[in-house]
Structure 1
Amino acid sequence: MNRCFNRCFNRCFNRCFNRCFNRCFIRTIIALACTSCFASSAPLRIQFVKGNIVDKTAAVRESSGEDAAFLSKEAIDFALEHKVLLGNDRDLDTLALAGVLALPANSVASLDYGEREALSEKFVKLFSLFPSDTVRIAILNKAAALRDSLPTEPCIVLLNDYLANAVSSAGENGVVKAAVRTLGEIGDSRSFSVLFTARRQQKWPEYGKDIDEAIALLADKSLPQVIAVIREGNVKNGIRPLFEVLIKNEKISASFKSEIAENVLSETIYIANNASSITRETVSLQVDALDVIVQNKWTRSAPAVLSFFDLAEREYKAGVMTDGEFVKAINAAAEIAPVDASSRLASYLAALNRQTESGAKVSETIALALIGALGRIGNKSSFDTLLYVTYVN
């Protein structure tokens, strides 16, 4: 009985022990294998954790894929955490730079909104805490590259304030140039005002082309601000330079250019009608705006074009408008507002005919332009006038 019991007990015990031992052994082996695999697959992360700042920087620079996504964020966090303690330390600057440059776009796109917002705020802190031009330029380039993933508001506010308060200085300033270009890509209407003010003040003439390009890129987001500049009525320092920037830029649509030209024409008509004398500068701008309207067949501006023809008569008579410019006003009225223009053109042609009858000399260029315009319009009243003039002549 005892023997039987002992045999059964021993068999059960051995079986249970062996099973438990085997399971534990296998689990231990698996755990050790996993640990070994993790350690062997993450040497750069280990190097970052254990190493000094130079080692950390090297690990970030050598990283790619998931390691780059992880280590770039770790580097940025480390740089922010220890900046106050280490001050303007070159090694820390280099680590911060490596972290910004290594940040993969696909890893940012996979973050939730809160994480992306936090990353954008970290960029702002890095820019504010690190005076290194190299670090700041890298931050701005990365912010522009990630504009479709990162919330842009923190960076826009930062750069608007930076450029508004930056002091004009001679020579190269790479951070200013990068800030201007970045605002051109991610900025808003506030940025437009900051940049146009900088242009007026000639704060950075060496970056004039960059500023003009950024202003043009922001114009369609800033129509109220554009109109406000035009409504100021300052032809030399406001309307003319803004008009040149927007009209000459090939990236701006024809419809937007036409809308700007219409507003410029309307404002300069108002200026001329309320000035004691009309300047050549104003007339030249009026004609340039008219050219854009005609080129783009912007019929919506018909009232302004007709008003300009009435003004152009006086400007031509006063000697501040050339024959060629007045011909443009005649042709524009006929093309943009033919129905309403026909009576005005016919009336002016009849007036020229009366002057001829009284022995006064009139411009053949203007007379021919009127006849040609009326002929293109082709309504009956115009035909009657042409017939009468032909008969008299």
Structure 2
Amino acid sequence: MKIKSARKSGLCLALFLLLAAGAAWAQTPDDVLKSYLRNFAIASLDVKLQIVQDAGQRGLKELGPLYLRAVDYVLTNFSLLETDQRFRTLALAALAQIRASGFGEARHSVWKLFQTDSSQEVRQGALDALAVIGKGDPEIARSLTLWLESQNSVFQTGKVPELGVILAAVRALGALGDPVSFPVLFATMNQGYTEDVSRQARQSLLAIPGDYRAQFIGILRDSPLPEKQLALGMAMEFPRLSDADKSALAEFALDVGLHSAASDNQSKSLARDLRFQAAKALTGRRWSKASPLAIEHFDAVLQEYERGLADRRFLVEAINLLGDMGSHEAAVRLTQYLVLLNAYTERVREFDSTIVLAVIENLGRLGDKVAFDDLQYVEYLKSYSPEVLAAARKVRAKLKW
């Protein structure tokens, strides 16, 4: 009799559990969310954590409001974060689920939590979540960009920020893909952080879509001179820039180097280095649009060379750049310089064959008949070496008159 009764009770219990499971299965996601929210509201802190963890196991994207409620609860009790680690445990659980569910409505609370808590683990969790839920929100991208700029400034003072958080921020900015972050990612890449941070900054920078030419121009225009040089170097090797874009950027950098308002000797030296770098980047590109700047650069280098501020090689590079311009203006300027070289050689009977040959050869490349008479005058000056005389004769013979 007792065995029969026990069997009957077991059957009833199994039927109850089956019906209960069926009822739970029949709940809509909205019903499940309401149930979780009700329980979360009345639960203790420990139970709130269990509720969030249990909800996460369901894998329902519709439960995002519950995780947002958990983050807001932590924010409401922010004064207890340092003394009761359970709040941070709850925050981490909620952030993980916000990220998994992609609940974008939580982005402002998550950003506030990032700003509020000092825990590196929580801040990294917040940034990982923002990398998913902050996409398409320019305010989040701008805020994180400004934060990273401030950390770079702190790093420049000699203080070392939390590198794990910096790495997460850089990764998040790459995921957000907002062009506003391009300059700060470039600066971070060259800031002197660890290799991991620098590598991630480069990867994030490459992940940002948009007008790369405009982005590099922005850095060349607005950043400190050392960063301008780095930007030009990167731009010349950047795979997503066309040859025309690279030529235009090198021209812009030459303009910046020529016209930077440098007041102290260090700044003047940096601006000069940028000019040299830009001139070298332009050489071989046949970018005639830069002729006026190439002439101005040549004049500046010639003056610097005569004052001992620039090596001969930079003067030769400036001469070669004029030869690459393919313009009448460049030919006129080189011819004017040849006139001076001829006059000096005739009077002093001394010359620098490297410089004279560079002028003659580049006049040959330009092929402009404006140089004909002065090339012929070279041949009258027997102070020149046979090599120079032969070069002048060869170039003059090719000019069409």
TM-score (norm 1): 0.68
Deviation at residue 151 of structure 1 after TM alignment = 1.5
Distance in 2, matches of 1:308 and 1:227, equals 18
Deviation at residue 264 of structure 1 after TM alignment = 3.5
Deviation at residue 251 of structure 1 after TM alignment = 5.9
Residues 1:37 and 2:29 aligned together: no
Which of 216, 221, 227 is 1:241 aligned to?
227
Q: Counterparts in 2 of 1:1-393, with a 5 A limit? A: 35=23, 37-38=25-26, 49=39, 52-64=47-59, 67=60, 69-85=61-77, 87-88=80-81, 89-103=84-98, 116=104, 118-146=105-133, 148=135, 150-157=136-143, 159-161=145-147, 163-164=149-150, 168=155, 169-170=159-160, 172-183=162-173, 186=176, 205-206=193-194, 209=198, 213=202, 226=219, 228-229=221-222, 238-248=224-234, 250=238, 253=241, 258-270=247-259, 281-294=270-283, 296-392=285-381, 393=389
AA paired with 1:81? Y
Q: CA RMSD in A?
A: 4.4
Q: Is the CA contact (8 Å cut-off) linking 2:64 and 2:101 kept in structure 1? A: no
Q: Is the CA contact (8 Å cut-off) linking 1:220 and 1:256 kept in structure 2? A: yes
Q: Is the CA contact (8 Å cut-off) linking 1:101 and 1:142 kept in structure 2? A: yes
Distance in 1, matches of 2:161 and 2:89, equals 25
C-alpha distance 158-379 of structure 1, shift in aligned 2 (>3 A): closer
AA paired with 2:276? V
Distance in 2, matches of 1:290 and 1:331, equals 9
CA offset digits 1:18-68 (Å, max 9, x no partner): xxxxxxxxxxxxx9996353269999977884881342243244333xx1x
Name the larger-Rg structure: 1
Distance in 2, matches of 1:342 and 1:155, equals 50
C-alpha distance 40-248 of structure 1, shift in aligned 2 (>3 A): closer
C-alpha distance 185-298 of structure 1, shift in aligned 2 (>3 A): farther
C-alpha distance 377-311 of structure 1, shift in aligned 2 (>3 A): same
C-alpha distance 179-295 of structure 1, shift in aligned 2 (>3 A): farther
AA paired with 1:91? R
Distance in 2, matches of 1:321 and 1:272, equals 20
C-alpha distance 368-107 of structure 1, shift in aligned 2 (>3 A): same
Deviation at residue 275 of structure 1 after TM alignment = 8.8
AA paired with 1:229? D
C-alpha distance 92-172 of structure 1, shift in aligned 2 (>3 A): closer
Deviation at residue 153 of structure 1 after TM alignment = 1.0
Distance in 2, matches of 1:277 and 1:39, equals 72
C-alpha distance 390-212 of structure 1, shift in aligned 2 (>3 A): farther
User: Secondary structure at 1:253's aligned position in 2?
Assistant: coil
C-alpha distance 274-300 of structure 1, shift in aligned 2 (>3 A): farther
Distance in 1, matches of 2:24 and 2:176, equals 46
Distance in 1, matches of 2:114 and 2:150, equals 16
Distance in 2, matches of 1:276 and 1:358, equals 36
C-alpha distance 353-156 of structure 1, shift in aligned 2 (>3 A): same
Distance in 2, matches of 1:297 and 1:138, equals 51
User: Secondary structure at 2:160's aligned position in 1?
Assistant: coil
AA paired with 2:121? T
Distance in 1, matches of 2:102 and 2:90, equals 19
C-alpha distance 54-274 of structure 1, shift in aligned 2 (>3 A): closer
AA paired with 2:97? A
Distance in 2, matches of 1:103 and 1:145, equals 9
C-alpha distance 134-47 of structure 1, shift in aligned 2 (>3 A): same
Q: What residue in structure 2 maps to residue 24 of structure 1?
A: none
User: Secondary structure at 1:170's aligned position in 2?
Assistant: coil
AA paired with 1:58? Q
AA paired with 1:351? L
Q: Is the CA contact (8 Å cut-off) linking 2:188 and 2:201 kept in structure 1? A: no
User: Secondary structure at 2:348's aligned position in 1?
Assistant: coil
Equivalent pairs counted in the alignment come to 342
Which of 43-52 and 73-82 deviates more? 43-52
AA paired with 1:38? A
Q: Is the CA contact (8 Å cut-off) linking 1:334 and 1:374 kept in structure 2? A: yes
Deviation at residue 244 of structure 1 after TM alignment = 1.3
Distance in 1, matches of 2:376 and 2:23, equals 102
